Amino acid sequence: MIPDAAAPAPGLNVGPSVSEPAQPKMSKFVRNSFFGTIAGFAITLGNFFAGLIVARVLGVEGSGVVAFVMWVVTMVVAVGGFGFPASLQRYVPELTAQGDDKAASSLSNLLFWPSLLASVIAGGAFVAYGMTLDVSGVDVANASADRRVWLVIGLWASCQLLAEFGIAYLQGLQRFDQVAKITSISFVLQIVLVLVGSFLAGSVGAVLGYVSASLIPAICAFQAGAARGPVDKSLRRRVIRYSGFRWAASITAAFVWARMEVFFLEISHGTHAVGLFTAGLMLASIAVQGPQLLTRGLMAYFSEQYGVGAYDKLRASYATSIRMMALLVLPCCFGLAALAPEVVPMLYGDAFRDAIPASIILVCASAVGACATIAAIVTWVMERSDFEFYTGIAGAILASLAGLIIIPEFGIIGAALSRAATQIALVAAGLWFLERVLKCPTPYADLARLFVSAIVCALAARLCMNLDSSLLMLPVAIAAGAIAYVLALKLTKALPNEDLMQIEAITSHAPNAIAPVIRATVRFLKR
């Protein structure tokens, strides 16, 4: 039974007492996760290598200009998306799981046309504003004074709004294989055109390279406009409520998660500080993206579970998923933070050495946010996006106060510390809500043991670099950290045997070069 939108979303403890409906097949989830991971790697690698190109070719100032443009586009997408992509990802899998493909198509069509209108208006508004400015140098200290910067912002914002909708539409239909193909092609286009654009037209040319990655996904959005049909009033009410809160939450969350500090740094310290801070953000993104890519299929999978009333299964899947996320992301983040003094100059050049302290802070804090991604997905599936909105308001206030008081005084260190503190506070509130209101407990004891094990990993890696700080020692430090992590996992007994058995099952089809190592590690860790 689908709960009415006017009623509070049910908690996870209200499932059937006698027997539960048949569960969605895990094979679909594994398949979606596999292709979702490929798509995510394409996006992550595209942004990572594009960022390296910009840093190496254009330097700190040029990186600052590109980061400023990226922040503006992120804000536009949050405002102009109306929460519709999130609704596609949430409701289309539920409708298809119930066998109502027609309703899924009608819903997609209903949400497409206002999204297209928003794309046109947003792009036109920025182009019109840019035309009112005088043309100045491309890589100026104040990027907001350059006409060409606003013209490319308009183009990118228009394409990105449709691209977000197009990808969400395909993910809602669980066509993750198509998403993987599209993002892989876009990855190649982005890298080539960012490189060419950086040499030919500086920062503006680099941004045009980023725009190319949005073109194919934007075209896919038009598929949603093909099928028309009525949308049930009760479903419409649920979608409107969910979209509204997700929309408002995405706007407020942009102040907390989407580089809001870039705006205040650009005003108070210029694009040089923005470039340094962005290097830290990129490093944090590198640390968490790999594990987070494995969550690509969770929204559809959890939505199916909720749609058929499998609440106990959803609760158990949450606990397992957050442990798996912590297992992967904590050593990645803490280990990379330990190696940041060597990694940052190696990746971005000696001009970015001043970014090392902020990078360490941002990388460590990103581990908490990455683990909380699982909790956020469950909250969205339970149709409690209103909570995200309310906490987002609190986060936006904190971020704004930090931008007005702390960042002007302390620069990029202040930006990094305030960002970390705000995000950790919001994550704590989210976990409390999930446990107390939605009755979905978080396995804190297991997470604490994983945290301690990751600290041991970081200490081992740092000890190796202290003995020899040359880049040749990096592989040794990484290997030492990995070995120390496995030993710490064994001593702390951080993972229950059922999780280890699931790891064995999921990785049974891994390449022959990897599978024996995974199996041996799992056997070693079993209690």
Per-residue model confidence as pLDDT tens digits over 348-370: 888 888 889 999 999 898 888 88
DSSP H helix total and E strand total for the chain:
17, 0
Using the predicted structure, report yes or no on whether residue 461 has a pLDDT greater than 90.
yes
In whole angstroms, what is the distance from residue 502 CA to residue 132 CA?
A: 59
The reported pLDDT for the residue numbered 508 is 60
The reported pLDDT for the residue numbered 360 is 92
Select the more confidently predicted residue: 142 or 103: 103
Average confidence (pLDDT) over 9-38: 49
Q: What pLDDT digit, counting tens, does each position of 223-260 carry?
A: 887 767 788 888 888 888 888 877 877 777 666 666 67
The reported pLDDT for the residue numbered 512 is 58
Using the predicted structure, report yes or no on whether residue 10 has a pLDDT greater than 60.
no
Half-sphere exposure of 116 (CA within 13 A, CB side): 13
The reported pLDDT for the residue numbered 485 is 92
Lowest model confidence (mean pLDDT) among 3-7, 126-130, 327-331: 3-7
Q: Which two tokens stand for residue 372?
A: 């909380």
Q: Quick check: helix, strand or coil at residue 505?
A: helix
| Residue matched to tokens 């202040």 | 414
The reported pLDDT for the residue numbered 241 is 85
Residue partners of 15: CB distance under 8 A and separation at least 6: 309, 310, 311, 312
Average pLDDT, the chain: 80
The reported pLDDT for the residue numbered 455 is 94
Which residue from 54, 474, 33 is spatially nearest to 282, judged by alpha carbons?
A: 54
Task: Report residue 308's pLDDT band, with 50, 70 and 90 as the boundaries.
Answer: low
Q: What pLDDT digit, counting tens, does each position of 171-222 carry?
A: 888 888 888 899 889 989 999 999 999 999 888 899 999 999 999 999 999 9
The reported pLDDT for the residue numbered 505 is 66
The reported pLDDT for the residue numbered 141 is 47
Task: Report residue 17's pLDDT band, with 50, 70 and 90 as the boundaries.
Answer: very low
Average confidence (pLDDT) over 330-341: 91
Average confidence (pLDDT) over 430-457: 89
The reported pLDDT for the residue numbered 368 is 85
Other residues' Cβ atoms within 10 Å of the Cβ of residue 230 = 10
Output b/e per residue, 16-33; b: 16+ Cβ within 10 A: eeeeeeeebeeebbeebb
Task: Report residue 165's pLDDT band, with 50, 70 and 90 as the boundaries.
Answer: very high
Alpha helices by DSSP H, 224-355: 233-257, 260-268, 270-293, 298-307, 311-348
Task: Report residue 377's pLDDT band, with 50, 70 and 90 as the boundaries.
Answer: confident
Alpha helices by DSSP H, 81-146: 84-97, 101-131
Task: Report residue 511's pLDDT band, with 50, 70 and 90 as the boundaries.
Answer: low
Using the predicted structure, report yes or no on whether residue 277 has a pLDDT greater than 60.
yes
Select the more confidently predicted residue: 140 or 306: 306
The reported pLDDT for the residue numbered 361 is 92
Whether the Cβ atoms of residue 373 and residue 295 lie closer than 8 Å to each other:
yes
Using the predicted structure, report yes or no on whether residue 133 has a pLDDT greater than 90.
no
Using the predicted structure, report yes or no on whether residue 437 has a pLDDT greater than 80.
yes
Using the predicted structure, report yes or no on whether residue 111 has a pLDDT greater than 60.
yes
Average confidence (pLDDT) over 512-526: 70
